[in-house]
Structure 1
């Protein structure tokens, strides 16, 4: 069975009933759990309300680095992230590719997220793009040794992946890996240890081949897993089993508690 370790169900233009149908489709394709990731603390209550009635959905709480116009202070983030349904902090991180002009506020926000993760003992979900040095340096400077996390939708270098793994992080791969232009990423994926690998859709964006150009959805994580299994020369069943186990371990979710 697969897990979609990173999706944005609230960003799909669907009613709760329609979302339930999408997740039923995903479950028929062997996807048993979904992590709905927050991009704005201000939108967190609405996100939570939209997914609360859905089976086997966990949530995170945080502010995406490209949503700094919706940034919040440390105490607000901490209080929101205390919600018992929140299994992770983020997504947070740094993006100098799309928004280098907000670097200062991104740095402050990222540090706040790291400190909240430390205080609540919840893992970090990190978005990083063209910000390798600052991302790793801030983690080394502020992260408690016990705080873990994931670099999601990873498209950076093998050197960065290694540094993150040494800090106790997992590396999550999206449908980008299936693109013909993603040859460098494919080589990185071949090197990532299985016990540090997660898979995701990042839906509604980045649909994998053969759905590229269409709206992404959690059921398509199967294509991501199949492609990576082929890259690594292992069975789809092994890839699914290991990445699912990694997910439950990182986010402290007990599979027997799934409803």
Structure 2
């Protein structure tokens, strides 16, 4: 059995066939799904999905590209949702220096506020990091994120950065890019990540794995990520599936 630890099944790209996508995921051996809510629009729909399906769980958080829109009321709202039985983490949160939609200082403040909230409520955090490796690590260290740990979602950094995150009680998660021929660094990093800290994901509908690259990603394709990860690790798919499932259950506290 497999767990997709990061997907966006509530995205508009699935409005026409969401139920079929979920059924295909089940057919591909996915036993549990962690769906991500990251702003005013996606948090309610993510929780709604988790309430509708026993095997779907939700995160709640504020994405860095939307940081400029987050208010004190939004932060209080996120805190109130953390008591929901299907909410398993705060995220995705972090920094994004690629899309110029929120000033860096605002992103930093919103990121820090949510790490503090995670420590307050005792939830792990799901980290979004795009072109901001050094600042991500610095803020995680300064805000004592190791107290709650979490996951570096769709990791794209170096092994040095990965080691710093591992030292702070974080899991390292990989998605579709490890199936790409030219994705040298993610494969090299995955090969070195300890098995007990490894997770897999799709980030659907984005980052579609080979051979479907260029088309819409979906949760069932986490099996392709698992197959690639098992090959990189040099272990049977069954072993990789078992360990990453146990890791996800441990991190998110899901049944």
Note the alpha carbon deviations across 1:75-101, whole angstroms, 9 max, x for none: 233223333321000100011122386
1:184 and 1:43 map into 2 onto residues whose CA distance is: 31
Residue number in structure 1 paired with 2:34: 35
Check the 8 A contact 1:20/1:54 in 2, yes or no.
no
2:107 and 2:123 map into 1 onto residues whose CA distance is: 20
Instruction: Give the alignment's TM-score, normalised by structure 1.
Output: 0.92
1:128 and 1:107 map into 2 onto residues whose CA distance is: 12
Aligned Cα root-mean-square deviation (Å): 1.7
Check the 8 A contact 2:68/2:103 in 1, yes or no.
no
Residue number in structure 1 paired with 2:78: 77
Check the 8 A contact 1:96/1:129 in 2, yes or no.
yes
Alpha-carbon shift at residue 225 of structure 1 (Å): 0.5
Query: Which 5+ residue runs of structure 1 have no aligned equivalent?
Result: 255-259
Check the 8 A contact 1:41/1:72 in 2, yes or no.
no
Cα 1:180–1:72 change in 2 (3 A) is farther
2:226 and 2:100 map into 1 onto residues whose CA distance is: 31
Give yes or no for the alignment of 1:172 onto 2:173: yes
1:42 and 1:100 map into 2 onto residues whose CA distance is: 17
1:160 and 1:100 map into 2 onto residues whose CA distance is: 25
Note the alpha carbon deviations across 1:102-127, whole angstroms, 9 max, x for none: 20111011011101110111100001
What SS does the corresponding residue of 2:93 show, helix, strand or coil?
strand
What SS does the corresponding residue of 2:100 show, helix, strand or coil?
helix
Check the 8 A contact 1:41/1:80 in 2, yes or no.
no
Residue number in structure 2 paired with 1:9: 9
1:36 and 1:210 map into 2 onto residues whose CA distance is: 24
What SS does the corresponding residue of 1:10 show, helix, strand or coil?
coil
Alpha-carbon shift at residue 52 of structure 1 (Å): 2.4
Check the 8 A contact 2:65/2:101 in 1, yes or no.
no
1:47 and 1:101 map into 2 onto residues whose CA distance is: 23
**Residue pairs, 1:127-206, within 5 angstroms:** 127-143=128-144, 145-206=146-207
What SS does the corresponding residue of 1:216 show, helix, strand or coil?
coil
Note the alpha carbon deviations across 1:197-253, whole angstroms, 9 max, x for none: 000000000110011011000000000000111011111000000000000000011
Check the 8 A contact 1:12/1:204 in 2, yes or no.
no
What SS does the corresponding residue of 2:147 show, helix, strand or coil?
coil
Deviates most, 93-102 or 128-137: 93-102
Residue number in structure 1 paired with 2:87: 86
What SS does the corresponding residue of 1:180 show, helix, strand or coil?
coil
Check the 8 A contact 2:226/2:237 in 1, yes or no.
yes
2:71 and 2:200 map into 1 onto residues whose CA distance is: 29
1:100 and 1:46 map into 2 onto residues whose CA distance is: 23
Give yes or no for the alignment of 1:63 onto 2:33: no
Cα 1:163–1:192 change in 2 (3 A) is same
What SS does the corresponding residue of 2:205 show, helix, strand or coil?
coil
